[in-house]
Amino acid sequence: MVMVVFYEKPGCSNNTRQKQVLSQSGHDVVALDIRVQTWTPETLRPFFESKPVAEWFNRAAPRVKSGAVVPELMQADEALAAMCLDPLLIRRPLMEAEGRRMAGFDEATVAAWIGLSQDGRPIPEICPRSDGVCSVPKA
């Protein structure tokens, strides 16, 4: 299988489940905190491929939810600058493998890209909590 560099917000329950699916599919996952990376527009832009700018954003980010940032009104250069300053705006996870980069965890796309095997449960991409503060449940 492949090594996947997985940029996440540590403690996010969805990112935890996504990493588990990747690992259970035989992939080696290197998890990095998306908030502490030194992002530039040049390093960030390739993750979004041909997606529209509005799809680059984490809809659960506090500034998006409050209306301070309106993804549909932003141009690419403005969006990238904002994300470099506030990585919580970035749609997660960001993943790198086999020379390709991707934002978000679209199951079918990831399966076609590097292969997935799972137990039949859907793999969440959007934070299920209404407050946008995803965290791993305490055991």
Tens of pLDDT, residue by residue over 94-137, are 999 999 999 999 999 999 999 998 665 555 555 655 455 454 44
Compute the Cα dihedral for 126, 13, 9, 131 and give only its sign: positive
Closest CA to 125 of 108, 105, 111: 105
Give catalytic residues, as residue numbers.
Answer: 12
- pLDDT tens for residues 26-63? 999 999 999 999 999 999 999 999 999 999 999 999 99
pTM as predicted: 0.84
- Contact (Cβ atoms closer than 8 angstroms) between residue 2 and residue 116: no
Right CATH for 3-114 from 2.20.28.90, 3.40.605.10, 2.60.15.10, 3.40.30.10: 3.40.30.10
pLDDT of residue 136: 42
Contacts of the segment 57-60: beta carbons below 8 A, 24+ positions apart? 57/89, 57/90, 57/91, 58/88, 58/89, 58/90, 58/91, 58/92, 59/126, 60/126, 60/127, 60/129, 60/132, 60/134
CA dihedral sign, ordered 34, 78, 51, 133: positive
Residues facing 4 on adjacent strands = 29
Evaluate the omega torsion of the peptide bond into residue 93 and state whether it is cis, within 30 degrees of 0. yes
**Domain definitions of the chain by residue range:** 3-114
